[in-house]
Amino acid sequence: MIQEDYFIKLIKDCIKFFAKLVFNNSIEEIEEQVSQSEMDDLNIYLNLYDDGKVDEAKELMRNSSKSNQFDTAKVGILFFRKINEYSNQELLDKNYSRNMLKKDISDFMNSYGYGDIVNIYFGNLK
């Protein structure tokens, strides 16, 4: 339980730092500022995740980043924030884990050139 709480907090802090660095806003402010279109995208990704289609959600997010990286970055950090709120058991029920979440956040942030942030928070994931 303590380890689960530690990793949840670590991921949460990493996401907060990314939000502040990239958008100069708190994650809560970003959540309040998302457009309806961005919220629709977020809901699509979360629904895919809830259906156990994690890879499809990530692929769809990756493809949408080609059209508008800034919006996708907002939606992406909100997506990972929501997924981080799931318990370890809920993640496992979707064939996912906290370690996979850390790796996906690392890949996501690295795609925006912020891979060093992940190394600060998580160490070397390789």
CA 63, 67, 69, 73 torsion-angle sign: negative
In angstroms, the Cα distances linking 51 to 13, 22, 25, 34, 55 are 27, 30, 31, 24, 11
pLDDT in tens, 16-70: 988 998 889 999 999 999 999 999 999 999 999 999 898 898 888 877 765 667 7
User: In 51-125, where does DSSP find H-type helix?
Assistant: 54-64, 69-84, 88-93, 98-111, 115-122
What global pTM score does this model have?
0.86
* 81 neighbors 27 (Cβ within 8 angstroms): yes
Burial 29-42 (b: 16+ CB within 10 A, else e): ebbeebeeebeebb
Task: Identify the pLDDT of residue 30.
Answer: 92
Residue type, 23: F
Overall domain count for the chain: 1
Range of the domain at 61: 2-122
| Token pair of 46 as six digits | 């979360």
Residue that is written with structure tokens 């990756």 in the block: 62
* Residue 83 pLDDT grade (very low, low, confident, very high; cuts 50, 70, 90): very high
